[in-house]
Structure 1
Amino acid sequence: MTDPTTSTDTPRDMAAGAIVQTLPLFEMMRMRAATTARRHRTLGFAAADPGSRMRWVNQFTHTHRRLGPDDREVVSPNNDTVYSNAWLDLSAGPVVIDTPDMGERYWTLGLLDAWTNPFAYVGRRTTGNRPQRTLVHGPDWHGDVPPDVSQVIASPGDDVWIIGRILVDESPGDVDEVRALQAQIAARRLDGSDAAMRVDTLLDGRSASAPEPALYRTIVDAALARNPVQGGERLHWPVDDDVLASELPRVFEQLRESEQAHGRDLGNGWTLAVEVRTHWGDDVLTRARVARNFIGALGIDEAMYPTAEVDADGQPLHGSHAYELRFPPGGGPRVGAFWSLTMYRRSDCLFVANPLARYSIGDRTPGLRAEPDGSLAIRLQARDPGPGSNWLPAPPDEPFYVVLRLYQPQADHLEFRYAYPALRRA
């Protein structure tokens, strides 16, 4: 797909450019509709009508278990953490986030603005694991900060998506410990009251297809009023409805192209689809592609997700073959937290069911075995390679891909100096 923001000679070009620029706003509002709760634990339903678009914001919802092959809501899910999710509406004032003592555990709350910029973090890497209070406010607030607040985060707009990740180990009872930690995460007003409020999301967040022009314009206009463009970006909006109607399906479909074809080449068949830190800058086309395909991705200082779809010979990975991924002695991933390698079917981007119930393998996997020379070899194949092997089961007789998740990647990765080993036919 050519960059439509660089060509504005025709109404069609102008419409495509406007869609690419504003699509992150629409997709974020769609995700808000899809992931906010209809029911508050004490205040009840946001609206009596089951078909209402009213939802609760400024409250956390949680998943309490790691995802498996029967979970189909999210593509390329991770198998390392559980999630805590909140949408903040800062139009009525700041929201204070309380988080408990996390011990030595990895955790992060990543804050995204309405343009999908991952502009701030709370967690192990940035603020530590102690109990803390974080005040998040919008661009128009200038009040006094209470003395018990640990840090203040200024949001560029009134809408913020918080995506929390908390590491879960395979040890007995760890899921219950994490559930207890999640229960202590809360969103409050400055006076200590529940910050929950109702919002009309205006759309059905379950549909990922191109919307009707009137709905797209309504959502984008409402989001723009609350989250203006930043950093000198010039917005090409509005656009004629007739042209918008013809261009919405085309742009939405073109942005579904494989993101790996546009990512950074890391060598040996590995690519990095998402390469943002805190702001997308003027790269509005990549911002739109990521919003369409990987919305909610963390910045690379917090986590990197190198992906491999081909082997050492450039051939697509396929379950009819066996592969080995070998990290040389002392040459494993360099991370401040942990790393894992996760297997997905190419057909639906979901986990591969297998007898071990193992969907990822990494530095925390029980029984992980190093070779006598200190190297680490991981076997990726459908059939059990036998005792003593570090086995990541692959789907039989169908294509697959793997994601190497690096949490708190160190300088070798961030500066793109790390030599990623190729997947070789075994």
Structure 2
Amino acid sequence: MRQGRSGLEPDAITALAADAYVYGSPLVRQLSAVQACLQEGCGTLAPAPFNDFAHADGPATPSTHVPFAPADLVDALAQLDLSGGPVRLHVPDTDGAYYVLQFVDAWGNAFAYLGPRATGTGEGDWMIVPPGWAGTVPDGVTGVIDAPTSVASVVGRLACDGPEDMPRIRALQQELTLTHLGDRAHRTGLPATEPGVPGELRFFEELRVWMGDFPPAPADRAYQDRFQPLGLLEEGLSPYVSPRPGLVRELRRGLALGRLRVEEEARRLATAPAGPPGAWRTVPHLRDHNLDHLGVGTLGSPEWRIPDREASYLVRAVAARRDRWLPHGYEAVYAHTSRDALGHPLDGSRRYVLRLDQPPPVRGLWSLTAYDSPGGHLVANAEERYAVGNRTPGLVHAADGSLTLHLAAERPADPVAAANWLPVPPGAFRPLMRLLLPGQAVLDGSYAIPPIEPYGNRPGA
């Protein structure tokens, strides 16, 4: 069989390119998102320069065209550039209210957390330092966060109890600040790729440039060196500006094969048997691919790390494809379902109940939100009520402590059912339960959210 200039046969180049996609797509996806946040904004968040926060105006509403946006959390997002030196982060006192600041490196690894679970809710100042930094920590600094890469993201979520809570949130937003401490100017954008690269090879060009500027953990470098025959380790003029036709064909095939591999794994995780009809699905271990940089607020015990490093690359690629800023399961678990206890698709033309014999075991918050399907958007209702949970005032518990939530498009006539009502879209819908700071029973599966039942299916309903 014909060999290319690399000495490898075309099929071997294709297979190697597929491996490169699985390995490198998290880096390309993450930095593409960083670039978009700098230039265009992200979802409802306006664009913001490096080392500055962008804040949402409030929790999600039906006008928020972001799939599965939270109706009881307010987003904050900052892109950090540490190429000019450290950045100081001031965190205000939230007076016991839940928040989290999640730090994600250029490869999509969540490497630190600030918040009640990790550091409490009091005021603090944190230094975020670049790789290899060996400077002096100023007085008054609460702690140091070592960033694995010189570009990173800070993903913030502030618990919000509705419009009346927004003055408190706005005050926190004003106090949540970043200050560049370096003695050199930081970047204003990401390292530029070579112009003139054909669109079908753009992925490999971005991977080549960004791998060079944001090197992986030392334990990954031997694996990364395998991609030398693809031109990914070449410096200077891009090998993809005027590539030989055979290389274009092999890389294109490898790209398609790598994407298929990631999509099939994502589909497997999404459709794996979840239990009886109506069982809720969770994926608490999708962030366990971070094996090397476990900083403030992370857990490094074996149950939170994938033992096989090469297998972790595929999980990381799936996580980047599904939700690049998903937290570790020990910070938050998201449970969803699309069918009732009889196995029928959920539809707002019918009424349902969710009976919780015990409240979900969380140290933080739990809430239930209903989104339209398949879009994943909130749908307007007259009550402007888009989530119910342990912070919802007026919920009525039974004498035994259980809580029955009523899911319906129309307000129930019964006063108790109306107090416990979650409005749902009139057609197909998908409920999502957020479990923030989940207890061990959630994580080990000994607590399971009950299936949603058609109204009247339970005796005495």
Shared fold, TM over 0.5: yes
Q: How does 1:275-294 map to 2 (within 5 A)?
A: 275-276=285-286, 279-280=289-290, 281=306, 282=309, 283-294=312-323
- Contact in 1 for aligned 2:83/2:187 (Cα 8 Å): no
| CA deviation string 1:112-169 (max 9, x = no partner) | 1112111101122211122111111122211111121101111211121110111111
CA distance in 1, matches of 2:227, 2:382: 53
Q: Paired residue for 2:20?
A: 18
Q: Partner letter of residue 362 of structure 2?
A: V
Q: 1:228 to 1:294 in 2, by over 3 A?
A: same
1: distance between equivalents of 2:52 and 2:332? Answer: 25
User: Structure 1 residue 100: deviation in Å?
Assistant: 1.5
**CA displacement 1:18-60 (0-9 Å, x = unmatched):** 1111111111011112222579xxxxxx9xxxxxxxx721111
Matched, 1:80 2:57: no
Q: CA offset at residue 61 of structure 1?
A: 1.0
Matched, 1:117 2:112: no
Equivalent position amino acid for 2:209 in 1: A
Q: Aligned with 1:392: secondary structure? A: strand
Letter in 1 for 2:384: A
Match of 2:355 in 1: 326
Letter in 2 for 1:64: D
Q: Is the 8 A contact 1:133 1:151 kept in 2?
A: yes
Match in the other structure for 1:198: 188
User: Identity, % of aligned pairs?
Assistant: 32
| Larger Rg, first or second structure (1 or 2) | 2
Give 5+ residue unaligned stretches, structure 1: 1-7, 40-45, 47-54, 204-210
1:93 aligned counterpart, secondary structure: coil
- Aligned counterparts of 2:263 and 2:37: Cα–Cα separation in 1: 21
Superposition RMSD in Å: 2.8
| Change in 2 beyond 3 A, CA 1:200/1:18 | closer
Is 1:385–1:391's contact at 8 Å kept on the other side of the alignment? yes
Other-structure match for 1:376 = 403
**Which residue among 389, 399, 402 is the counterpart of 1:362?**
389
Q: Residue by residue, what CA displacement relative to the aligned partner does 1:164-221 show, whole Å, maximum 9, x if unpaired?
A: 111111372x201211111111111337x99875114759xxxxxxx93332123222
Give the helix-richer structure, 1 or 2. Answer: 2
Q: Does 1:395 find its partner at 2:425?
A: yes
Amino acid across the alignment from 2:56? T
TM-score of the superposition, structure 1-length normalised?
A: 0.84
| Structure 2 equivalent of residue 188 of structure 1 | 179
Q: Which residue in the other structure is 2:302 paired with? A: none
Q: Residue type of the partner of 2:370?
A: M
Range with greater deviation from structure 2 (194-203 or 128-137) = 194-203
| Compared CA separation, residues 411 and 195, structure 1 to 2 (3 A) | farther
Aligned to 1:52: none
**Matched residue pairs, number?**
392
Higher mean Cα deviation, 308-317 or 363-372?
Answer: 308-317
Segments of 5+ residues of structure 2 without an aligned counterpart are 1-9, 42-46, 231-246, 291-305, 456-461
| Equivalent pair of 1:275/1:299 in contact (CA under 8 Å) | yes
Q: Distance in 2 between matches of 1:257 and 1:308?
A: 20
| C-alpha displacement of 1:340 | 0.3
Distance 1:244 1:83, change over 3 A: same
Task: State the secondary structure of the residue aligned to 1:14.
Answer: helix
The answer to whether 1:226 aligns with 2:205 is: no
Tell me which protein shows more strand as a share of its residues. 1
Residues 36 and 86, structure 1, Cα contact 8 Å, conserved in 2? no
Mean alpha-carbon deviation: is it higher for 364-373 or for 100-109?
364-373
* Structure 1 residues 350 and 260: alpha-carbon distance in aligned structure 2, compared to 1, 3 A threshold: farther
Q: Which residue of 1 aligns with 2:366?
A: 339
2:57 is equivalent to residue 64 of structure 1:
yes
